Amino acid sequence: MRIRAVNPNHKQHALNFICHDELLAFQVGSFFSQVDSLRLIVSEEPLPEFDVDCYAIHESLLHFVLGHEAGRPATWRPVIGFGPARQLQSAFSLGCADYLKEPWEPEELAVRVTRVFQSRTWMAGGDRRDGIRLFSNKIENNGRCVSLSVNEAKILEVLFASPEKAVPREVLYYAIWGRMKNPVSRVVDVHISSLRKKIQNFIPWEIRHVRGEGYLLTASGSASASRGR
């Protein structure tokens, strides 16, 4: 496995860029050599977690890296996928924190990585709700944990802040992207679908869709559940 480090002596966050395309790796490396806040390590396979803070992985390798979630440690670093637009939903379903649709520029990757680190800092201490601890990359309940993508954690935090109240899609979209909702985007629905599967039978809460209003976090089996599906 060939490994090449950019800014090897830098003490800031380290990004492991995993790619088999030599030209793309060169272009990304050239840009990151001028970025003081990020240390780039280019390789063809993921490096151990203690060496890096974030991974950027081509969509063709995502399932190999993220497809075996049961064996993934709770401290798994966030992953940013990149590739064709048609793989967007699959990437988020596998647990990516973000996804770059081709074509993209190295500068955009740097911005997305920075956003991921900001999100992890935002929830680094673990937010508590009824004995449940929510982090930027997982949710804990009585010593057990389930891995979450950064965006899934953001959505769950917003829903926990207003239990039993419908939260509009626009609010959830803004929580993820920091801007107003794209009218044709279904990214919130993709994250909600993944979240429902992850928290089902894990915490005593469920996410319901309320027609014309948004999404509702309600106690499992409560009367509020009849408002949506």
Alpha carbon distance 193, 211 (integer Å): 16
Predicted confidence (pLDDT) at residue 41 exceeds the cutoff of 60:
yes
Helix axes 106-122, 22-32, angle to 10 degrees: 60
Predicted confidence (pLDDT) at residue 97 exceeds the cutoff of 50:
yes
Residue reference for tokens 């802040």? 161
The C-alpha angle with vertex 164 and arms to 158 and 165, in degrees rounded to 5, equals 65
* Confidence (pLDDT) at 181: 54
Q: How many CB atoms within 10 Å of residue 150?
A: 25
Predicted confidence (pLDDT) at residue 70 exceeds the cutoff of 50:
no
pLDDT tens figures, 132-189: 788 877 888 887 889 888 888 888 888 887 778 888 888 788 777 665 556 557 888 8
Alpha carbon distance 99, 90 (integer Å): 10
* Confidence (pLDDT) at 28: 93
Phi, then psi, of 37 in degrees rounded to 5 = -85, -10
Helix (H, G, I), strand (E, B) or coil at 85: helix
* Confidence (pLDDT) at 74: 37
Contact predicate 40/6, CB 8 Å:
yes
Predicted confidence (pLDDT) at residue 219 exceeds the cutoff of 50:
yes
Between 10-14, 19-23, 136-140, 206-210, the lowest mean confidence (pLDDT) is in: 10-14
The strand pair at 13-18 and 38-43 is best described as parallel
* Confidence (pLDDT) at 179: 58
Between 90-99, 104-113, 187-196, the lowest mean confidence (pLDDT) is in: 90-99
**pLDDT tier for residue 198 given thresholds of 50, 70 and 90:** very high
* Confidence (pLDDT) at 180: 56
Alpha carbon distance 62, 32 (integer Å): 22
**pLDDT tier for residue 103 given thresholds of 50, 70 and 90:** very high
- Domain 3-122 fold is Rossmann fold (3.40.50)
Average pLDDT in the 52-64 region?
A: 86
For the chain, what are the domain ranges? 3-122, 127-227
| 215 burial via Cβ count (<10 Å: 0-12, 13-18, 19+) | buried
* Confidence (pLDDT) at 119: 55
Average pLDDT in the 87-96 region?
A: 78
Buried/exposed code over 171-205 (b: 16+ C-beta within 10 A; e: otherwise): bbbebbbeeebeeeeebbebbbebbeebbeeebeb
Taken in order 101, 107, 112, 113, the sign of the CA dihedral is positive
Question: What residue type is assigned to position 5 of the chain?
Answer: A
Architecture of domain 127-227: Orthogonal Bundle (1.10)
Alpha carbon distance 40, 43 (integer Å): 10
**pLDDT tier for residue 123 given thresholds of 50, 70 and 90:** very low
**Type and span of the H or E element at 86:** none
* Predicted model pTM: 0.54
Distances (CA, A) of 174 to 4, 58, 119, 177, 217: 36, 26, 13, 5, 18
Predicted confidence (pLDDT) at residue 17 exceeds the cutoff of 90:
yes
